Amino acid sequence: MATPKSVIELAKKAGAKMMDIKFVDTFGTWQHFSCPIGEMTEDIFTEGLGFDGSSIRGWKSIEASDMLAMPDPETAFIDPFCAVPTLSLTCTISETGTLEPYSRDPRGIAQKAEKHLIATGLADQAFFGPEAEFFIFDNVQFDSRSNGTFYSVDSEEAVWNTGRDEMPNLGYKIRHKEGYFPVAPADTQQDIRTEMCLVMEELGVKIERQHHEVATAGQAEIDYRFSTLVTAADWMMIYKYVVKNIARKHGKTACFMPKPLFGDNGSGMHTHQSLWKKGKPLFAGKEYGGLSEMALYYAGGLLKHAKALCAICNPTTNSYKRLVPGYEAPVNLAYSARNRSAAVRIPTYSENPKAKRLEYRPPDPAANPYLAFAALLMAGLDGVQNKIKPGAPLDKNIYELPPEELKKVPNVAGSLSEALDCLEKDHAFLLKGDVFTEDFIDMWISSKRKEHDAIRLRPHPYEFFLYYDV
């Protein structure tokens, strides 16, 4: 276990000249400020480092802006992208004076979720394993003005470039929905993904695999090993940081938008989760799919609160362009062993009790991982505590069900607006243990409604195609 003293030794050994203080904002973006290494003492880990919180989205107003960043020694690493040797520390945020955790700090919310789990007595560890997908593009352009708007992304391996004059064009382009798993030369990004994996491993993230994903134009996936809730979220922040910066190093750009391409698969963040107690897995049993009764109740909680969860796990207007039928997106709320068209899947790769878990498939990588994992845990715990049954499993291909059967299967929220309405009505489960607060939920809904309205009020380019000559 890392200590302030061991972190100081790490910095000395690496010849660090600067200390970079990182923390996550409300909506999932890493923010930072840097100090000369001489400012790093053991005291900063208990007393924190002051900064102005009024400029952080969704945080303090200007008359109460002073905040403290509290570094976590477990998160220390030497930043691989700084020219000057720099020690990186991830922080939680506290109030000045009292040192109380700030109620809108996402990492603090995730820590409270872990404490709440222990307080229930049901388990003492929640493990999470997210599978985030993303695109690696060669070029991106976009603009939005009062008199016009556009976007354009491009990739050397995209199917729309079969006719481009590339001097020469070698023709190895990936057709829509055929990106899973062709080898080189069709897959042009094996080496860049490998470099991402190796850098993440150097920073302590335990990588399991990497591969090209289904879509054309450089869709990718890198999976890391499951870990406890806060650590898994810390790793997702490192994951995005490494992916974006390695892509930039190679003159490319990485995109975690859920649906940057029309007519092809979007990017999800399928999230595996399980509960353990005293080193023993609690989700293995003799019920359906080799699960325990607890695991089925946990699934029942996820399904009951799924529409409200969308507001946190699918937090953008773009998220709902992915959550549509036909692109491997789990729009239907059901559970099943192996079936990837169900919102809750029970992986069956192994009968080892330690491998028994639930995979919740609706989330996408636009989500703030601390908030998403905390919300999923709270929904699952609500299912366990209230013995919410998930209903009968659905082992058919949901996308091929006849209309009369499909009508009986409930859906995820169809838009960000609907998801926010559902969260407004259904969030009591998030307030248990003071994990989330009414203040946070109100701020989240208000901020996200502004995003929804920003899109709703703007003319769309395709509207000109449909309606210009009416």
Token pair of 49, please?
């480092």
Q: The tokens of 228 are what?
A: 């406890």
Q: What is the DSSP string of 222-233?
A: EEE--EEHHHHH
C-alpha to C-alpha distances, 281 to 30, 46, 219, 278, nearest whole angstrom: 32, 34, 34, 9
Element (H, E) at 365: none
Asked if the peptide bond before residue 27 counts as cis, ω within 30 degrees of 0, the response is no
The pair of three-digit structure tokens given for residue 265, joined into one six-digit string: 């698969």
Nearest 5°: CA angle at 193, between 187 and 197? 150
DSSP letter for each residue of 370-439: HHHHHHHHHHHHHHHHTT----S---S-GGGS-HHHHTTS-B--SSHHHHHHHHHHS-HHHHGGGSS-HH
> Phi, psi (5° rounding) for residue 48?
80, 175
Residue 8, phi then psi, degrees to nearest 5: -65, -40
Residues marked active site are found at: 52, 131, 133, 213, 221, 270, 340, 359, 361
Token pair recorded at residue 434: 């003071």
